[in-house]
Structure 1
């Protein structure tokens, strides 16, 4: 169509009436929502006779939402504006008074749904997923292609090294520990989750496996609304949160506050045979432990519309975390069949952390709605401290130890981003941007041994470490998009100058490195009909070493399994490619694809064992990692009773390094399934199962992991409230097993979460909202 038609759009007219006399309903609010993601496209207020007119409606499919005080909310689905149409007359639209009981309300805009864009999948979070999810971690487990490892870090297609963004900004602006951030972020603040396995050059070049962007809800409409959520669980797993949004005129304010307590028990076993010495020695470990914690998270945001084209948004986020970890590990050493050097090691640790983030964003729109300029800025600072106390008991006097470790960390970061989007023609768009991110970390680890003769702790300089780390990233990117009726193309290039400075204060070693990287991307789509398309994507990714991987501090909390950082790590580069098909309709759909990920100079954990049987684990650049296979996500509704969605993949996984004598190759499979069942009396049940199949790791294999959850919920108070009962890890099957085999040792390890999580949750939503036209 011509550019003039695009600017004017079509017109929707209609009349809001009340049954049974078809009397006009004065001043009802009419909001026009996009069918694909339920975002507000336009809106008006009907006149005193209930008549409304919405102008400048682009071609597409919409949902009409009618609200008015004293009346039931009304949804009208499948409102279509044809490309060649000038006006659509919807006629009389009947609403019911609040006192009348609806037999059936189908809320089209509330369901979870998948939209396949050129270079990402967008998963809108609906009521079903929110009902059995307290935080973002719970949501991510249910997203196609995404899983969590035993520590709560996200994986894409079973592989870590994922960049997690929150509203397009790095998640580390909210704190240093990603699992804690995801656990403290309330699920009901999330609008959608974007998963990019082959991200365009617009996004961070880091993350060998891909990018996850968590999009929070914005205050796009007038009025006040909010919600409260309280969840009580066993083992002190409790959660409470609340949020409120208010918008009047040009000003919008939103605030949220959440807090949770968590508790998890685990057991661990390890058996390792050491072949270095003439006599084979064996280490056997068995023990239990608990991880407990509590955190609080708060955010306040203010949005001001300067005029129709310019807006400002400012926000403050604050998080506070406290954790307590305890373990009791028995160590048995065998030289041949003779037991020697046995000891029991008890570890009691505690830590505290806090983080505050300030943000200021500016957006300017030009005459064309898609023509805009964005500026984002964030400044974050935080710190953490910790204490660990080790008591080692043995019948051998030399193995009796009493030790303590004192830790302190301070960090700062600054993020600046500018994006300019220029619609060159109605079908082509150029986007350019500049980004700067600087950060610094100061780490102090002080280790002390108790002198039993003087009953005082003595500083151990051989283990203690003072480490400073800073980096600066300067990035420029450009993407060009071209769309026709059938074809879509997005090509981009990202150039990054990365500077890294390391100061090993303890040993007086300081050095810096610089990397100039190019990250190209290309995405092609071919539309087959209104709901289906083919796509071909490629992107190059880079995984730069993180501060924790570089820090050479030696962690001796388990003296038979020591960990350390490697300041000589180099970046890992990955090539990602994907050929896919998608077909998503209102009743369901699927998105199968063939994928390939290839990494050279891959960063992975390597374990070596010395003659005394002590292992050292650290990150290293080992060789190549290759995975390729078939993947699909799917969803399907069976009438109004059953809805399922999930994903599955079958793939080859290879880790090869001639230098490290590694050659592991295996076929594997994994998948997850969500099922939602509508029951009588407004009850709704859900079940979730996930299986991550065995896969090759650097020096061996990791066995498959199976997890099953279930829940039941009921809507109350005219669907303004929900009460739900959920059980996570029903079969206590969250167990991680791995086997490592090298020329010098063979090891079997086992880690198992020993408590299932049971919780009862009550959620209440309040407020009245209405459409306010095009949001600035």
Structure 2
């Protein structure tokens, strides 16, 4: 089905090419700084008809200083060019009905002065921007995440849900490709939830949600892409900021310093945080049956698990405008995070005959520890070349990421009245992850409204892992377990090429993008007896949009995505941190394939009110899910484990999901702003050997902002995520509610914030069920959720506005 749809989209694009030849009435140009000869982004272009005082058309320049205004009737015009701290330029010209296109060439703007002693900008930043291929969320007015991390910001992003354990889903799908500033990082490979906890909320400029990625993006991630854009400086001058917070659960701090002079800019940053120790209480009861159904076993576990997490990030960014048409950027960052947990679990194993006769009872105590640490170095080099021909562009990107992780875990079980000898094991698991990426993209405008893009990419990933397992002997000494001690190397090379087109036809009645991406995946792993076959992926995509006006649009999109099993999914190592609940990887997993259709509608109203609607249908085949089987006795490397559930990932059939998301932001006067996300969907899993499971899922978010006065803002917010049926049980519901205040002082350069999360609930109870033909299990967790925090932020420095990047309604926002 996907290929006919893709062909139709390409036919549309060729139709647009023919239509574009007929377009007439166009003014183009480029705005340049008269002194530095650098392009000026976000300069305001206004078009006036002869003898009129009110502009009837206009826009702002792009990042190359270029602009193009279409569909203008023939006649005389007055064009004005404005930008802060520059003298206004006025040009009088005429559009000839025969020529059609009027090219003003380079327009030089002269600065009013070389330096501004003080710059004050007052504007209300738009929280949501809906673009043709993405939704952009700005957390500038998100008080509940102040002093928090990226996870706290994501809780308020439309179409994104975060459960109580920090797991992320995009429109109900956990298969998400995470990027930082458009680039992958090995730090996401070890633990996404831990990695997100190391990114302070105050360093996030915006979050891009790409549910239907085009051909330019990697095909990985059936749920889509979440790109976290960090703040950076592209304005003339020096500025810096410091952010500190302390609380009952989280402490963090960050420092940014940015400087730019002429065509060179640099910035450094540091951030660190610590999640204070919390204790999660848990209990579980499992009822299992013998194969003959003549006996019943009951396993009851109850324990407390203290947990803490910490991490920090630091790095440097450099930007050099070599010439007005050549940009060079470099970045380097170091990321480190870790978590530690201990646990004490009381266990009771009881066996009965079917008539209730007690056969045996074993009571024991298990003490466990787990220590995880990840260190990652990311660096990148970007080169961008523009040309005299408008919108012709060449981009080259080189990225490298090196991650090193260490996992040390173990457990020790002692039995009441010493009816059995003490048992236990320990694991030492160091690993390395090295990724290198090469990207070359080229864009060529063919005609008005038609641009062709093409590119190639190569990504090389090498993982080395060493696992040493020692088993506790009867004399209380540890001996090496050879069956669970081994080393492996995992390599995955992906080669890709794509072609896509941006088109506009019927006088821009419809605009869109269509493309095809080809990827070749080569994977090798020295798992014993396992050969992972190479495979090809053809991933078509298209998006078509109609704008009723500049404030109202509707779009339809289709995309083909895959989810490659990573090395953790494939690794056949047995995780025996809990001998009664064991997990392992499946080296025979195939990639999951997803086809997704989306219908989106957005409208902006006056005074900052806007809505965005997204309806979607997704069908995944070879769906990767976890299945659990019960074993009365499971033998691993010569050791017998009794009363065990074994969890493994499988390709288990088909998953169909359809649903809708609705985001709205309403300004009620000057003081009150209400934002809300509502999402619901129906998910059906069809798995051979199991009954089909259908589940209705919903999630809601509500934020209320109140402006007490120009320097004080308050917010109350709430999130609810419904329970969900899965193939072998259910997942519990969860909710959060927050109160926050922020006070500005020192001429709005400093702020003091207070946040409260679940202030009236110290713990959240989570009850879940799982089962198969031979067992049923109930799990209960008491998770600490209450927290109080205070945060302080101060920004300082002198700014000179020459040019800069901005996506916030034309307001230049320094990198604070």
TM-score normalised by the chain length of structure 1: 0.86
Distance 2:379 2:290 in 1: 54
Partner of 1:747: 777
Is 1:502 the counterpart of 2:525? The answer is yes
Compute the displacement of 1:469 (Å). Answer: 1.1
Q: Residue in 2 aligned with 1:565?
A: 585
Preserved contact between residue 112 and residue 129 of structure 1 (Cα < 8 Å): no
Pair 1:694-2:723 in alignment? yes
- Distance in 2, matches of 1:382 and 1:62, equals 52
Instruction: Look up the match of 2:754.
Output: 725
Q: 1:732 to 1:492 in 2, by over 3 A?
A: farther
Query: Is contact 1:11–1:86 with CA below 8 Å preserved after alignment?
Result: no
Say if 2:146 and 2:202, in contact at 8 Å, map to a contact too.
no
The runs of 5 or more residues in structure 2 that have no matched partner are 1-19, 34-39, 46-58, 71-78, 87-94, 105-111, 633-641, 807-816
SS in 2 for 1:107: coil
Q: Who is 2:330 aligned against?
A: 314
Aligned residue number for residue 666 of structure 1: 695
Q: For the residues of structure 2 that align with 1:471 and 1:34, how far apart are their CA atoms? A: 47
Aligned residue for 2:28, secondary structure, equals: helix
Offset, 1:7: 2.7
User: Residues of 2 paired with 1:540 and 1:737: CA distance?
Assistant: 36
Partner of 1:541: 561
Answer yes or no: is the 8 Å Cα contact 1:40–1:771 preserved in 2: no
Report if the CA contact (8 A) 1:112-1:125 is conserved. Answer: no
1:441 and 2:454 aligned:
no
Q: Is the 8 A contact 2:425 2:471 kept in 1?
A: yes
Q: SS at 1:610's partner residue?
A: strand
Distance (Å, rounded) in 2 between the aligned partners of 1:216 and 1:582: 26
Q: Residue 590 of structure 1: CA displacement?
A: 0.9
411-420 or 443-452, which moves further after superposition?
443-452
1:290 is aligned to 2:306? yes
Q: Secondary structure at the match of 1:188?
A: helix
Distance in structure 2 (CA, Å) of the matches to 1:177 and 1:149 = 15
Deviations 1:436-474 (A, max 9, x none): 111111112211123242x43101123334232110011
1:212: Cα distance to partner? 0.8
Q: Which residue of 1 aligns with 2:639?
A: none
- Paired with 1:425 and 1:681, the residues of 2 have a C-alpha distance of 49
Q: Which residue of 2 aligns with 1:640?
A: 670
User: Does the CA contact (< 8 Å) of 1:406 and 1:445 recur in 2?
Assistant: yes
Report the equivalent of 1:256.
Answer: 269
Q: Which residue pairs with 2:448 in the alignment?
A: 426
For 2:121 and 2:325, how far apart are their aligned partners in 1?
Answer: 35
Partner of residue 527, structure 1: 547
- Is the contact between residue 573 and residue 600 of structure 1 (CA under 8 Å) also seen in structure 2? yes
Secondary structure at 2:133's aligned position in 1?
A: coil
2:176 corresponding residue in structure 1: 162
Partner of 1:768: 798
Distance 1:488 1:576, change over 3 A: same
Distance 1:4 1:359 in 2: 42
Q: Is structure 2 residue 622 aligned with structure 1 residue 601?
A: yes
Cα distance change, pair 425–192 in 1 and its aligned pair in 2 (3 A): farther
TM superposition shift of 1:409: 0.6
Asked if the contact 2:186–2:402 (Cα under 8 Å) also holds between the matched residues in 1, the reply is no
Q: CA deviation at 1:143?
A: 0.5
Shift of 1:84: 12
Change (3 A) 1:65 1:709: farther
> Once the 2 structures are TM-superposed, how far is the Cα of residue 570 of structure 1 from its aligned partner?
0.6
Is 1:189 paired with 2:203?
Answer: yes
What is the SS of the residue equivalent to 2:153? Answer: helix
Match of 2:571?
Answer: 551
Partner of 2:219: 205
Cα offset, 1:478, TM superposition? 1.5
Distance 1:492 1:404, change over 3 A: same
Cα distance, 1:65–1:738 mapped onto 2, change above 3 Å: farther
Q: For residues 234-264 of structure 1, give each alpha carbon's deviation from its aligned partner in whole angstroms, at most 9, with x where no partner exists.
A: 14x2101011111101211011011111133
Q: Could you give the per-residue CA deviations for residues 699-732 of structure 1, whole angstroms, max 9, x where no partner exists?
A: 1222321111221111111111111011223334
Query: C-alpha offsets along residues 378-424 of structure 1, whole Å, 9 cap, x if unaligned?
Result: 11212122322322121144352243221111121101111111222
- Paired position in structure 1 for 2:392: 371
Q: Is the 8 A contact 2:41 2:65 kept in 1?
A: no
Aligned twin of 1:460: 481
SS of structure 1 residue aligned to 2:194 = helix
- Separation in structure 1 between the aligned mates of residue 794 and residue 742 of structure 2, nearest angstrom: 13
Match in the other structure for 2:492? 471
What is the DSSP-based 3-state SS (H/G/I as helix, E as strand, rest coil) of the residue aligned with 1:168?
coil
Q: Aligned-pair distance for 1:150?
A: 4.1
Matched residue, 2:192:
178
1:656 aligns with 2:713: no
Question: Counterparts of 2:231 and 2:733 in 1: how far apart (Å)?
Answer: 35
Equivalent position to 2:252, from 207, 225, 239: 239
Q: 1:202 to 1:545 in 2, by over 3 A?
A: same
Matches within 5 A, 1:344-355: 344-355=365-376
Q: Deviations over 1:541-600 (max 9, x none)?
A: 100101111111101111110011111111100111111211123521111232111111
- Tell me which residue corresponds to 2:55: none
Structure 1 position 270 matched with structure 2 position 284:
yes
What is the distance in 2 between the residues matched to 1:629 and 1:302? 43
Give the whole-Å Cα distance in 2 for the aligned partners of 1:414 and 1:251. Answer: 27
Q: What are the Cα deviations for residues 609-668 of structure 1, in whole angstroms up to 9, with x where unaligned? A: 112431001111111111112221111111111112221122111112123x14211222
Tell me what 1:19 maps to: none
Distance change (3 Å), C-alpha of 1:467 and 1:42: closer
* More displaced stretch, 3-12 vs 362-371: 3-12
Match of 1:301 in 2: 317
Deviation of 1:475 after TM superposition, in Å, equals 0.9
Is the alpha carbon distance of 1:461 and 1:299 closer, same or farther for their aligned partners in structure 2, counting shifts above 3 Å?
A: same
**Residues of 1 paired with 2:266 and 2:655: CA distance?**
47
| Residue 34 (structure 1) shift | 7.9
40 and 241 in structure 1: CA distance in 2 versus 1, 3 angstrom threshold:
farther
Instruction: Tell me how far apart the structure 1 counterparts of residues 560 and 143 of structure 2 sit (CA, whole Å).
Output: 32
CA apart distance, 1:106: 7.7
Match of 1:123 among 119, 133, 137: 137
**In structure 1, C-alpha distance between the alignment counterparts of 2:462 and 2:26, rounded to whole Å:** 51
Counting matched residue pairs gives 715
Quote the offset at 1:62 in angstroms: 13
Distance 1:406 1:62 in 2: 68
Q: Larger relative contact order (C-alpha < 8 A, sep ≥ 6)? A: 2
Cα distance in 2 for residues equivalent to 1:186 and 1:64: 36
Quick check: 1:432–1:479 contact (8 Å CA) kept in 2?
yes
- C-alpha spacing 1:512/1:58, structure 2 compared with 1 (3 Å): same
- 1: CA distance between counterparts of 2:447 and 2:202? 38
Q: Is the 8 A contact 1:721 1:762 kept in 2?
A: yes
Q: CA RMSD in A?
A: 3.3
User: How far apart are residue 680 of structure 1 and its match?
Assistant: 3.9
- Where 2:420 maps in the other structure, the secondary structure is helix
| Contact persistence 1:174–1:357 (CA under 8 A) | no
How far did 1:33 drift? 6.5
Matched-pair contact (CA < 8 Å) for 2:28–2:69: no
1:107 aligns with 2:107: no
For residues 6 and 184 of structure 1, the distance between their equivalents in structure 2, rounded to whole angstroms, comes to 47
Q: Retained in 1: the 8 A contact 2:594–2:620?
A: yes
* Cα separation, 1, equivalents of 2:612 and 2:692: 33
SS in 2 for 1:184: coil
- The aligned counterpart of 1:411 is 433
**Counterparts in 2 of 1:662 and 1:437: CA distance versus 1, 3 Å:** farther
8 A contact 2:305–2:342 mirrored in 1 = yes
- Describe the SS at the equivalent of 1:549: helix
